[in-house]
Structure 1
Amino acid sequence: MSSPLNQPIAQEPRRVFLGLAGSGLVAASTPAMAAGRKSNDASRDVSVMQAALALEHEGIAAYRLAGDIRSNSMSPQSSDIAQRRRAFRELHRSGCFVMPNPWDRGSARYLQALGFKALGTTSAGAAWSRARADGNLSLDDMLEHLQDIVDATAIPVHADFESGFAQSAAGLADNLRKAVDTGVAGISLEDASGIPSNPVRDIASSVARLRVARAVLDGHGSDAPLLIGRAENFSAGNPDLEDTILRLRAYAEAGADVLYAPGITRREDIAALVNAVRPKPLNVLVGPGTALTFDDIASLGVRRISVGAALARSAWGGFMRAARSIAEDGRFYFGRPASGRELNSFFKLSTETPSSVTANILGRVEFRLGEGPLLEIRKGSVEITFSSGDAVFTWSEDNWREEAAMPFANFCRYVCDGAIVLAET
């Protein structure tokens, strides 16, 4: 039987691309139920409702196991970490997903609330947040950052672990064990040397280092983090596709679970890498200025898309333009700033909201099923339960149980706007 990794990319709803937790709950409802239509078959109605309730209870149980995302310090348990790692591994088996890259706790929490299924750290974004240049964080700085992002969220976190912060095999192994202990679900090891005159290590030494990493992770059993092998040719200014393919194939043979060559941007080059490393999954980095869409990249057979430091650069860009307008022109131009009220609402709700609440819908509140049209939730009382990225609404109408899901960030915006009013507890 062929591996799922050998199968063509499925045309999945955009909710899958965004990674919205809870989408299975909504999708499991029959079309008649989703559209609010009634069935004359009472026994089938009962069966459908029981199935939906079972899925809801499973989702709530999994959420509680994962730990409440609305806690300032999650301190995830070992069972939660194992669950995250299994989920991360499963994401790489088929289809394509986006793994955005936060740079601090707040950005991580917000990306999770948009419904993404996994996050990846960015060494550059982390360094800039600490007033350092990329590549200038110490091992302790990096471990602290990884722990911070893991603790701030309830979904898998992939670690940009640069070159491992060690030259010797023993030092590399020790550092990798420390990275594993932070609870990350994946660890990338790049072949950059840090030497300007020779920025990329030779293949033999890079393979040897990946074998050390493979041995360390194998020591953690079946729920170990994924190992990502990175070939830095293109990002280091050496756009040699043939050598990059040789490296990625060698890294796959050395035990890398996922392959990654940052700096590859052309459609034909991406396709060549996908074919070269198949059946193992390929990560593609997307940065500012790309003309490729999610669907374009997914159609090439790419399993995972990351954005590196692009989101951090976007945030810094807005800040720098506003600051320069004050310093250089005496003008107070802030572009399109986020609403302080909405941010306060989001962070307050993300830390203080219980796992389920009763609320009243007073204004227009909309949700979307897959890529279908926006549907409105009727006004009145609803029950809302929360997962790691979703708010799931349930209500009764004419003895019929209805439900809908939306990203937690959208729920917070509706609360901020007054369209949803939470009942006092």
Structure 2
Amino acid sequence: MKKFFKYFVIFLALGLVYTVYTNYPRLNLITGFSAKSTASIVFLADRTLESVEEFDNNFPPITEGASSVDKVSKTTSAKVFGLKKRTAVYREGLGAVLVNDEYDENEPYLVPKRDKTPKALPFPYGNLPQKDTVFKNVDYNRINGAVDQAFDKNGDWNKKTRSLLVVYKDQIIAEQYADGFDENSLHLGWSMTKSVMSTVYGVLNEQGKMDVNSRAPIVEWQNDERAEITINNLLQMNSGLDWVEDYFIISDVTKMLFLESDMTKSAIEKPLVGKPNESWYYSSGTSNLLSGILRNQFDSRQAYLDFWYSDFIDRIGMHSMTVEADMAGNYVASSYAWATARDWAKFGLLYEHDGNWNGDQVLTAEWIDYATTPTNTSNNTYGAQLWLNANGKFPDAPRNMFYADGFQGQHVFVLQDQDLVIVRTGLSDIDYNYIIKEVLESIK
């Protein structure tokens, strides 16, 4: 028996050594994800470490990471098998960020200046409750039944929906949240942040300060074939730059999000593997490069930080939103915007109303047309950092529906002709076509 136990212990030790050896290159990514996710959720979304571990960090290989929280310093740390410790720091106004050995906790940093003055108007244009409106043409029982189908029941953990919100003619006609969440809960948009960033370009366009057809102002590209890449090509993910977008291996996107201190530079050194305007490929590096180009449109970093909020986010009352920044102080335009479901709905409503926010023309109707026009070689699926239904991916939705889309099933669907915005957040995809179909058929 003792000999068996001895061999069993040796077997376990060898197994542990093998596991560590084969996974060691990934440990930085595992602990990076764990530390960053935990810091954002605990300090920004105001949830517990236990909640993070049970729901948000509970998928392989992230489950291998063990996180801890220091609420005094507002930091989190994560390790795997006691190795590869990574630390994330929460900075008020900028959100959570992974840090490296160069980080100086005593060095001051800039934060965006915001105006969150409440407006005495009903939702969506102010902070008062929405008007008590009942639409005679809406079958509320059917629409609520469809919304209810999106949520898990009786302890199941398959659909993982956290919020589902339907806005019709500026009125919330259906709204439901998972246990532990409500209308004040913040939800990470992941790649819906790309659509937020694109909207900032749209605001600059409306102000006459941005020509998207101009060449991308990247010094490193000016003496080679990349000099032909335009801002339009970058917005449409059609630059031809090399990039690997795979979240489950060591790839360009995971190295950028979990290793780089300045994410705006990750795509700059990439070579062309296709021709600009002829090679559509999804790239989060492109979105962060665009954030860096935005930074250079302003005389100071403070102006860059402020503009996103003053001229867009707070301008339409999305006061719950925080766009997190990297260690260098640049907004992570690929991935890290947080907001309530209702504020994500306001984003959709701005587009539904052709860029007009209660009389304030934030975007031009021409920009909406541009952002929702299919990109060359995208098979009618993509515009300017917005996804399209022009190819009928959702067969029961209008072909002119467009949407923001994020990892793990974050969506803001905009159906302009039907006066509808549908918001869904969660941790996995569901049958969106069913939801859209039922919502449409609930309105006579």
TM-score of the aligned structures, taking structure 2 as reference length = 0.21
Q: Which has the higher helix share?
A: 1
